[in-house]
Amino acid sequence: MRYPYQNANLTIRERVADLLSRMSIQEKIGQVNQHLYGWESFTDEKRQEFTEKFKNHVEWGGGLGALYGLFRADPWSKVNYSNGVLAKDSWKVANRVQKYVIEHSRWQIPALIVEECPHGHQGLDGISYPTNIGRGNSFNTDLMQQSAQLMKQELALKGVNLALVSTLDLVKDPRWGRSEECFGEDPKLAAKMTEAIVAGFQEDLIQKDVNYLDQTVSLRENKAVGVVLKHCIAQGEALGGHNSGTVTIGMREYSDIYRPLLSSVKQAAGVMAAYNDVDGVPCHINQELLKTQLRQEVGFQGIVMADGVALDRLEDVFDSKATAAAAALKAGVDLSLWDQTYMQINEAIQEKLVDLKALDQAVAHVLGLKFLLGLFDDPYLEEPEQELTQVLKQSEELNLKVAQESITLVKNSGILPLNQTKKKIAVIGPNADNIYHLLGDYTAPQSSQRQQETIYQQIKQTFPNAQVTYAQGCEVRAVDSSYAQIEHAMALAKDADIIVVVLGGSSARNFDMEFLSNGAVSSKGINMDSGENVDVASLKLGGQQLSLLTALKQLKKPIISILIQGRPYELTTVQEVSDAVLIGWFPGQKGAQAIADTLSGNNNPSGRLSISYPLNSQQLPVYYYQRDASKQENYYDQPGAPLYSFGTGLSYTTFEYDNLQVKTAVDKIVITVNMKNNGVCAGQESTLLFAKLKGGHVIQRTKLLKAFQKNWLEPKQQQKLTFVLPKSEFEYMDIDHKIKQASKVTFMIDKLTIDIAW
């Protein structure tokens, strides 16, 4: 017998309503739980036999809402190439899971298979792109969308239904360990990158201004993958840069900064709530945030997912897991993650802590997404044959381009690009000959079969006529009291024509991991100084790195400093000592080649800093869009301005702007400016358009990024750039907490400014 919910000619709304009416309370509870670690679902490395834990949980819930991390591989999961699922075998494992879940569900309800994909799939054979903080420096949304499309194709061929992607966090305090997961400090940049990621992963899965529930399921030749955006909201605002710490922003700060950013999630399949509280209210029970702002104001249609064990942490606020479960359901959390709390929903209903309607609403969101993704009508995959290999190859090629555009040159005394006549190059530093230090957090083990080079190895290949030597010099953090490594580096560099020093930090984890009560992953790696739960009090370079650099300066050789990092460091000494400074971030699997290409001139750097660099930690905060009353005036004991401002970035050519003009219409503003490449080589330039609002009887911000473009110009080429913005871009919250539109604005591009009123 076929039921109405199995009829593909009905709308998703009709199918959800029919199925929901047939389900028991326990089956509904099963659909809102994502309790298991996917890598613990099988007893054997070949993923043939299910564990009793997996079977019991499916039986408990009458099915399975979602399964997290089936293919996850990293030190925390303890999954690697000896016991993990290779990319080519993923589809079979996904089919095996779906078959078991469907056959053990009274209504044949499939599961959502959920994977981490912060800068590439965190699974074996995945492509590791630069982390977000570097990709933000590219200011290239086209590249972001293209890479998301390839990630989606990879995941779809593996059997993944939902990708967890960090896009919504802003770095207000770079001491926070997860700074590398952010696109930077600016909300407009993060919003545009978020929109590009949603478009790349989902295409038209959820269409603008169309309620997907009123449509029928549209099966695709290529399986659909939904994206779950992390984290909602303001996690990067935590006091002191503490992971999952308290946030004290008010409604005006939310309205100016996070309301426009949150609007970028409208077409996403999901949003993950943030660990932090906002003014004492945890995001996971914040009805104003998850219902009023997200669903009503933004028009978001997808699911709200909890962060890992975040619901269990609510026991600090409530007296029981049942009470916490009721509060989260009321607030609009649709799907749990690893916690025990949502397994207590039945108790919450029996104790009348929450109405059954709240559970039905959450289940409807989960089921609606499963229908939308085509899981009810076409849950299984066919062998991808060569298609997966081709997608991975395309992604690897694009990865180089992304890494090249992420690299940011902040100082150049004319030494770059390197003269090919340099015959002796000394490559020194703790990040010069280590692949894992290039990759960032949330990265899977790397295959020895994939050709990857360290920076030292790639420089040797790029400069075949030079004698390239290497010495580590020091560790990232560990201290050698004998200074033997520094002395060795000095001896090796003594005869060099030029010294390339590769400094910075590392998010490389080891296999001695633990999971902390705040939901974060901990690592005891001696050289790890970045990543989740690796918050620092000081932004100084670790260990003996500055001692190494200043010692090398005594040799009176030209020095090029390259920073491999997930957050800004205090670089005053690096800036003073070096003849050139390249910010490489965590540039991914192709990062070494991108850096070597930049040194040689094969890549003309086009990155611009997406985050301000403080002189030191005491100067924080230094993000650029503070209000005029709190702008960086000098302290009594040091300057107030940052070392490098947002948007800083040099090229091997020079660009010039003139003739900035603004025209107003009824509902839009048109800004034009002329740009010219004055140099002798071609290059790309990111043009940033800022605006300063005036009025409202409130102190406005110094400026805010409103739009950006990236364009390629040949030598001496000129181009007219046009920006068209709706007047809604110039809204702000006035003194009476009403959203108003500014009528006076100062526009800024490069050194040009123009005032306009309408």
| Beta carbons of 529 and 506 less than 8 angstroms apart | yes
Using DSSP bridges, classify how beta strands 752-757 and 744-749 pair: parallel, antiparallel or unpaired: antiparallel
d(CA 520, CA 606): 34
Q: Is 751 exposed, middle or buried (0-12, 13-18, 19+ CB in 10 A)?
A: exposed
Mean pLDDT of 139-157: 98
d(CA 452, CA 329): 46
Q: Which residues of 216-240 are buried (b: 16+ CB within 10 A; e: fewer)?
A: ebeeeeebbbbbbbbbbbbbbbbee
Into which CATH architecture does domain 655-757 fall?
A: Sandwich (2.60)
Q: What's the fold here for domain 407-630? A: Rossmann fold (3.40.50)
Range(s) for CATH 3.40.50.1700 in the chain? 407-630
- What percentage of the chain carries pLDDT values higher than 90? 91
pLDDT band (50, 70, 90) for residue 221: confident
Range scoring the smallest mean pLDDT among 212-226, 270-284, 430-444, 680-694: 212-226
In this prediction the pTM is: 0.96
Tokens of 463: 């400069």
d(CA 746, CA 758): 12
Range scoring the smallest mean pLDDT among 147-156, 311-320, 560-569: 311-320
Q: Where are the beta strands (DSSP E) in 518-606?
A: 521-523, 559-564, 580-583
Question: Mean pLDDT in the chain?
Answer: 95
Q: H/E element holding 18?
A: helix 12-22
Helix-helix angle 545-553:484-493, to 10 degrees: 30
Q: Per-residue pLDDT tens for 360-412?
A: 999 999 999 999 999 999 999 999 989 999 999 999 999 999 999 999 999 99
| Beta carbons of 124 and 81 less than 8 angstroms apart | yes
CA-wise closest residue to 138 among 474, 588, 751, 438: 588
Return the DSSP state at 123.
Answer: B
Mean pLDDT of 310-330: 96
Range scoring the smallest mean pLDDT among 82-91, 633-642, 707-716: 633-642
Into which CATH architecture does domain 24-387 fall?
A: Alpha-Beta Barrel (3.20)
Q: Give the pLDDT confidence score for residue 518 in this predicted structure.
A: 47
Range(s) for CATH 2.60.40.10 in the chain? 655-757
Q: Per-residue pLDDT tens for 5-15?
A: 999 999 999 99
SS (H, E, C) 658-692: EEEEEEECCCEEEEEEEEEECCCCCEEEEEEEEEE
Which residues are CB-contacts of 576 (< 8 A; sequence separation ≥ 6)?
none
Mean pLDDT of 202-208: 94
Which residues are CB-contacts of 471 (< 8 A; sequence separation ≥ 6)?
426, 428, 485, 488, 489, 492, 493
Range(s) for CATH 3.20.20.300 in the chain? 24-387
